[in-house]
A and B are shown apart, each in its own frame.
Chain A
Amino acid sequence: EDKVVQSPLSLVVHEGDTVTLNCSYEVTNFRSLLWYKQEKKAPTFLFMLTSSGIEKKSGRLSSILDKKELFSILNITATQTGDSAVYLCAYSGGSNYKLTFGKGTLLTVNP
């Protein structure tokens, strides 16, 4: 069965710290891997990764995919309290564009 595993499940850091969130996947028909930030109800799109080794960057956030080892990481540098959220990893595969999500990492950034 296809699946997505995120680690750690939760993380508490202080403002200014750098964090690395992990996502591993086992899929039979991989197309892309996506990262979302969920603060209240709606997940907000962060990155979509399709190729290994190409870093995507947006401000203090960056992400990279390793298709050989079947994992992705999301890095956040100089964390701020506004980064506190659940970070979700999902893969897209198959013919119906369904996203399959991991359980998420709850990040808490304390002042």
Chain B
Amino acid sequence: SAVISQKPSRDICQRGTSLTIQCQVDSQVTMMFWYRQQPGQSLTLIATANQGSEATYESGFVIDKFPISRPNLTFSTLTVSNMSPEDSSIYLCCLAGVSTDTQYFGPGTRLTVL
């Protein structure tokens, strides 16, 4: 199975700043996703990262707040913009396996916003 890496592993940021999270996969994958897990909550899909086109966002998430890039089939970035303490979460990139329903998660980025 593919090896997924994420950078940074964790970060502590100040309110009002932005952070870009990188997700790298060691093989080409068709579908990549970004999820968020707020403290004490379960995982929620932010968006599907589409190669070469704009990401598809879920209800409640907008491009201005969570811009996503996917320049090729092995790499994607998620930016959390103009952060507030409510953005403190674990952010996870995820890719689909042979069966698209089987999704594998990266190691995650733990973000704390002060």
Query: Which residues of A approach B to under 8 Å, CB–CB?
Result: 31-32, 34, 36, 40-45, 48, 50, 88, 90, 92, 96-104
CA distance A43 to B96 in the complex (A): 14
From residue A93, how far is it (CB to closest CB) to chain B in Å?
A: 9
Grouping DSSP codes into helix (H, G, I), strand (E, B) and loop, the A interface class, with mixed when no group exceeds half, is: strand
B92 touches A99 (CB 8 A): no
Return chain A residues, CB-CB under 8 Å to B58: 98
A42 touches B101 (CB 8 A): no
CA distance A32 to B107 in the complex (A): 24
Best-surrounded residue of A43, A50, A100 (most CB of chain B within 10 A): A43
CA distance A34 to B43 in the complex (A): 13
CA distance A16 to B102 in the complex (A): 30
> Do A102 and B42 contact each other (CB < 8 Å), given the known contacts A41-B90, A48-B102, A97-B96?
yes
A31 touches B101 (CB 8 A): yes
B88: Cβ under 8 A from any A Cβ:
no
B48: Cβ under 8 A from any A Cβ:
yes
* Interface bracket on B: 20 to 34
CA distance A104 to B43 in the complex (A): 10
CA distance A102 to B42 in the complex (A): 6
CA distance A32 to B98 in the complex (A): 14
Which residue from B101, B106, B109 sits with its C-beta under 8 Å from A92? Answer: B101
B53: Cβ under 8 A from any A Cβ:
no
Return chain A residues, CB-CB under 8 Å to B41: 103
A42 touches B45 (CB 8 A): no
Return chain B residues, CB-CB under 8 Å to A98: 33, 45, 48, 58
